[in-house]
Chain A
């Protein structure tokens, strides 16, 4: 595409439209060097200013490219600087050109030049209307050490322009406290600093009073000032911090944001903490209006945050949970007239209760607490349908309880769309293969995986077009941001975690053939070398746990783990190695078969050791730490298996020439055209896959990690049966199934009896038979066990047990029938997944047992 335009433009250099299209084609492809050259050419030819700026922007983007070495980066920025300074029209003619100019000066550390531009009348005018130019101005002033000037400017903006941007308040504080540190080399000036702080205190106090309830910035700024004063040891009044916190609470306590606003100030010493706690405890427990209820909720959140270890006993937490539930139900009465689209005023009390119940579950490992939590939150949703926080918590809890279909329902109800698939799909798809029923033909989770990947295609197709649009509109401030966005989304960690989960599910459903192995191998290799960006949103779920404990999200991790780069790397190594061994494709073959379709090599490809070497590397401690113990055993099994079988695969794999010859033949048969890039005349047709120069490798016994794997894991499976939640059992069972499938992948090649005979691998195949039958026996037992379990998990007794366990919520007023309904849903969901996984294991077993 790019080449096509470039050729055409070469032919017609006076065609401006063609020039532009060539420029755009290069911009879309990220070829900034060429883009810069074309823009320069166009400027010379057509003398339009914007082409000059296009050339400047291209030079900057080329400099920013990670593949550009550091020395080159500076050179390119200097080039950009030269060009932009040579512009006949000054950059301040447009905010975005001005922004570009400033960013170049900043990069080259030409702060004085930048300051001159900014200090002009035009510069000042631009900064007063353009947030992005003002942003870069702030940065440049700070880098230039103009901290005090910034403070002065901020004061003017606050007073004259009535600006209440939090950044202005911070600028004043930064300026004040700069007197106490000698970061710029000059000696600290305590006296001056104290004066400034005093003045600022008066200023903020005055503004807080004037603004009253309309704006809380000044009130919060007073808190921040006091905190910094304490840190610098210049606070005059040891009681002031808590007094300010109390004032703030009095002012802002009726708003939901109060809790978050005060959080940074909650690290208090004993005396302060006592005062603060008694103040909060004095907040009335009874309420007749929504603001009063909000105050109570805020007081609970704040108190909970500072709970000490002593206060976190089972009794105390139970009492708190009970209190929250009671107050929640009371609070619902205030919301009787709310529209169904609105959240209930009392919702956060239900969440506080749920958080407390999670803590209790963590202490006792007793599922009853989770039963109570889900019942309460399900109830809360009937009154507050839009409470996505309730749904997020339910998704986490249902997965912990082994009721994944209920988690799926709530995930769907949230209406996650577009880019949210990248940031939020982990709630549903993290270790989803544990719950997948693809083995019995239920492709629900497989489909969810595929749907969540649509966004990456949109990104590839669309984002580049908007980079072009930004060039057209000369919106230079946006272009680097678009590129970062595109890159982060394209190289999303979640994208590839989902890909891995999808693969793991797929193998339980589709027949394992060499085609599947080949295709997956190519994709996985590409993923392996990517630098991943973790875009997952873990902050979305509200957390009301005490500071000394983990947050709710961490506490509700499935299997106590949250997978990340290390987990992905581990599984990629396992599968790439297995597929590589099972495949006839090697690098040269792959290159020839994928001309044009090969994804672009990631930066740094040449400096790395060969793939084989990297795959054989042992996992680091960090990587291992992200695996559950059973996953570690699985990974070790895979590694031992690969090491054992590597020589046999390498020996028996047909040479590339033969593979290509076969591929060429197939292509010609299918399409009628010869395979491009493959010169058949050069191939050695006479080499037979069965005749080799060296002797075949001798057959050795399987390593213990392979031969004993299934027995060991069977033992671990048996242990998990003691748990009330089926999650551990499902985890181990699906891993055993996965190991069996991996074994199938690794031994597929040796099904060819002629091959085995010719190479004297009879003993090897005999080993396989033993391992396979051992594995099959274990799987059949597990399958039976799971199916049996599924038959007793959803009975009248189990439902009654659930309802009985929910005494905490039912005693406070949640309807028994409602609870029974939840019980039914949970137990049915468990039955479905346990039975489904069990039956599926049976199917997989019979498919590959021979």
Chain B
């Protein structure tokens, strides 16, 4: 019960229910526009039948030669719409576009080491951890997480769509 549609610039006026959540960062206008001006087809929105935004994904394509791949920069779903398979669908679209339009060899992403829910989801979709990056993320003030708070797992999946 969601509409999957392209992310557009004016969505920045409508994403508060997603972005006020602590896990979702609100970047400057330039961040979103830089992605939309280069890889708009890797950015999509899940929208409720009521018109409310439920979640979105922002991605890009990068790398050279056999390292050419799709990358998930940000994927987020509003708290009230979690556990509906929305992220999975957005990832599916991104993988398809990365594979068929960009001809990427794989898709990768970073995830906070402490975000076990997200890690489970990605692993369920066929992603596996291939490295740990120190202090990739900003501190979100958890306090006791230690290294897990700011470190990231790089995870990738082969585009076996």
Partner-B contacts on A (CB < 8 A): 95-96, 129-132, 135, 164-167, 214-217, 220, 255-257, 260-261, 263-264, 339-341, 343, 386, 388, 414-415, 417-420, 422-424, 455, 458-459, 462-463, 465-467, 469-470, 473, 475, 477-478, 481-482, 484-485, 488-489, 535, 537, 539-540
Give min CB distance, A469 to chain B, whole Å: 4
Chain A nearest Cβ from B54, distance in angstroms: 8
A475 touches B40 (CB 8 A): yes
Q: Quick check: A462 and B30 within 8 Å, CB to CB? A: yes
**Of B4-12, B68-76, B150-158, which stretch is located at the interface?**
B4-12
- The answer to whether B79 has its CB under 8 Å from any CB of chain A is yes
- B101 proximity list for chain A (CB < 8 A): 95, 129-130
Partner of B9 from the list A341, A418, A469, A478 (CB cut-off 8 Å) is A478
A485 to B9, CA, bound (A): 6
| Shortest distance between the CB of A263 and any CB in chain B (Å) | 7
A256 neighbours in B (Cβ, 8 Å): 79-82
Residues 47-84 of chain B, each 1 if its beta carbon lies under 8 Å from chain A, else 0:
01110100000000000000000000000000111111
Answer whether A466 and B30 are a contact pair too, CB < 8 Å, given A135-B5, A484-B10, A485-B10. yes
- Tell whether, in the assembled complex, residue B1 and residue A484 are in contact, meaning their CB atoms are under 8 Å apart: no
Given contacts A485-B12, A539-B52, contact A215 B85 (CB under 8 A): yes
CB pair A131 B44 closer than 8 Å: yes
Q: Which residue of A lies closest to B17 (CB)?
A: A540
CB distance from B61 to the nearest CB of A (A): 12
A-B contact pairs, 27 of them (CB 8 A): A129-B100, A131-B41, A135-B5, A166-B3, A166-B49, A220-B49, A256-B79, A257-B1, A261-B1, A264-B49, A418-B27, A418-B29, A419-B12, A419-B29, A424-B16, A458-B30, A462-B28, A466-B30, A469-B34, A477-B40, A478-B8, A478-B37, A482-B37, A484-B9, A484-B10, A488-B10, A540-B17
Asked whether B13 lies within 8 Å of A470 as measured between CB atoms, the reply is no
Known pairs A166-B2, A388-B21, A481-B36. 20 more at Cβ < 8 A? A129-B96, A131-B41, A131-B93, A132-B6, A166-B49, A167-B3, A167-B5, A216-B1, A261-B48, A261-B49, A263-B50, A340-B142, A386-B21, A420-B20, A466-B37, A478-B40, A481-B10, A482-B9, A488-B13, A535-B13
The one of B4, B10, B36, B142 in contact with A165, judged by C-beta atoms closer than 8 angstroms, is: B4
**Min CB distance, A818 to chain B, in Å?**
22
Chain A residues with Cβ under 8 A from B34's Cβ? 466, 469
With a cutoff of 8 Å between Cβ atoms, the chain B residues found around residue A420 in the complex are: 16, 19-20, 26
Residue of B nearest to A256 (CB): B80
User: Which residues of B does A touch, CB under 8 Å?
Assistant: 1-6, 8-10, 12-14, 16-17, 19-23, 26-30, 33-34, 36-38, 40-41, 44, 48-50, 52, 79-85, 89, 93, 96-97, 100-101, 140, 142
Write out the residue numbers on chain A whose beta carbons fall within 8 Å of the beta carbon of B37. Answer: 466-467, 469-470, 473, 475, 478, 482
Cβ distance A151 to chain B, nearest Cβ, rounded Å: 17
Q: State A220–B1 Cα separation when bound (angstroms).
A: 7
A845 to chain B, nearest CB (A): 42
Contact check, B38 vs A469: say whether CB atoms are below 8 A apart: yes
Cα distance, A462 to B27, chains bound together (Å): 13
B22–A459 CB distance below 8 A: no
**Chain A positions within 8 Å of B17 at CB level:** 539-540
Within 8 Å by CB of A257, from B8, B40, B48, lies: B48
Cross-chain contact B140 with A341 (CB below 8 angstroms):
yes
**A417 touching B142, Cβ below 8 Å:** no
A131: chain B residues at CB < 8 Å are: 4-6, 41, 44, 93
Ranked 6 nearest A-B pairs via Cβ: A485-B9, A466-B33, A469-B37, A470-B37, A388-B20, A256-B80
Which chain B residue shows the least CB distance to A392? B20
Is B23 touching A341 in the complex (CB atoms < 8 A)? yes
With A418-B26, A419-B29 as contacts: A214 and B85 at CB distance below 8 Å: yes
Q: What residue of chain A has the Cβ atom nearest to residue B3's Cβ?
A: A166
Interchain CB contact under 8 A, A343 and B30: no
A422 contact set on B, CB distance < 8 A: 13
Q: Which residues of the other chain, B, contact A257 by a CB distance below 8 angstroms? A: 1, 48, 80-81, 84
Q: CB-CB < 8 A to B14: which residues of A?
A: 537
Q: Which residues of B contact A419 (CB under 8 A)?
A: 12-13, 26, 29
* Pair count A-B, CB < 8 A: 152
Complexed CA–CA distance, A663 and B50 (Å): 58
A386 to B78 CA separation, bound complex (whole angstroms): 13
Contact B22 A341 (CB under 8 A): yes
> Residue of A at shortest CB range from B44?
A131
Specify the chain A residue showing the minimal Cβ separation from B140: A341
- For the complex, give the distance between the alpha carbons of A537 and B82 in Å: 22
Chain B residues with CB under 8 Å of A220's CB are 1, 49
- Contact between chains at B40 and A132 (CB < 8 Å): yes
CB < 8 Å neighbour of A417 from B6, B13, B26: B26
Compute how far the CA of A535 lies from the CA of B9 in the bound complex, rounded to whole angstroms.
Answer: 13
Contact B80 A418 (CB under 8 A): no
Minimum Cβ distance to chain B for residue A258 (Å) = 10
Q: Which residues of A contact B23 (CB under 8 A)?
A: 341
Give every chain B residue within 8 A of A260 (Cβ-Cβ): 48, 50, 52, 80
Of A166, A478, A539, A540, which one neighbours B36 at CB under 8 angstroms? A478
CA distance A455 to B44 in the complex (A): 24
Chain B residue contacts of A485, Cβ below 8 A: 9-10, 12
Q: In the complex, A165→B3 CA distance in Å?
A: 5
Q: Can you name the residue of chain B whose Cβ is closest to the Cβ of A96?
A: B40
B153 to chain A, nearest CB (A): 18
How far, in Å, is B4 (CB) from chain A's closest CB? 5
> Please, which residues of chain B bring their CB within 8 A of the CB of A482?
9, 33, 36-37
- Give the residue name and chain of the B residue nearest to A252 (CB): B1
Cross-chain contact B4 with A540 (CB below 8 angstroms): no
A584 to B97, CA, bound (A): 62
Selected contact of B79 from candidates A166, A217, A343, A415, CB within 8 Å: A343
Complex CA gap A129/B97 in Å reads 7
Instruction: State the CA gap A759–B52 with chains docked (Å).
Output: 64
Chain A residues closer than 8 Å to B27, beta-carbon distance: 418
A410: min CB distance to chain B, Å: 12
Q: How far is the CB of B106 from chain A (nearest CB, A)?
A: 18
B13 to A414, Cβ gap below 8 A? no
Which B residues are CB-close (under 8 A) to A164? 89
Q: Please indicate the chain B residues that have their CB under 8 angstroms from the CB of A475 in the complex.
A: 36-38, 40
Residue of B nearest to A223 (CB): B1
Q: A166-B2, A214-B85 are in contact. Are A462 and B33 (CB under 8 A)?
A: yes
Contacts of B12 in A (CB 8 A): 419, 485
The distance in angstroms between the C-alpha atoms of A95 and B42, with both chains bound, is: 13
Most chain A CB neighbours (cut-off 10 Å) among B2, B13, B26: B13
**How far is B82's CA from A78's CA once the two chains are assembled, in angstroms?**
47
Chain B proximity of A767: nearest CB distance (Å) = 50
Give the nearest-CB partner of B12 in chain A: A419
* Distance in angstroms between the alpha carbons of A485 and B6 in the assembled complex: 15
Neighbouring B residues of A339 by C-beta, 8 Å: 142
Q: In the complex, A423→B83 CA distance in Å? A: 28
Residue with the greatest number of chain A CB neighbours at <10 A, chosen from B17, B52, B89, B93:
B17
Q: Do residues B1 and A414 form an inter-chain contact, with CB atoms below 8 A?
A: no
In whole angstroms, what is the CA distance A481 to B89 when docked? 25
Alpha-carbon distance A343/B83, docked complex (angstroms) = 14
Given the complex, which residues of A lie within 8 Å of B9, measured CB to CB?
Answer: 478, 481-482, 484-485
Please name all residues of chain B whose beta carbon is closer than 8 Å to the beta carbon of A540 when the two chains form the complex. Answer: 16-17, 20
User: What chain A residues lie within 8 Å of B89 (beta carbons)?
Assistant: 164
Q: Which residue of A lies closest to B48 (CB)?
A: A260
A537 touches B16 (CB 8 A): yes
Closest Cβ of chain B to A223, distance in Å, is 10
Q: Nearest Cβ distance between residue A816 and chain B, in whole angstroms?
A: 29
Say yes or no: A418 contacts B28, CB within 8 Å.
Answer: yes
Of B4, B23, B27, the most chain A CB neighbours within 10 A belong to: B4
Q: Across the interface, do B93 and A423 meet the contact criterion of CB distance under 8 Å?
A: no
A350 shortest CB reach to chain B, Å: 15
Complex-state Cα separation, A165 to B21, whole angstroms: 25
Residues of A near B52 (CB, < 8 A) are 260, 539
Asked if A458 meets B21 with Cβ closer than 8 Å, knowing A341-B140, A485-B12, the reply is no
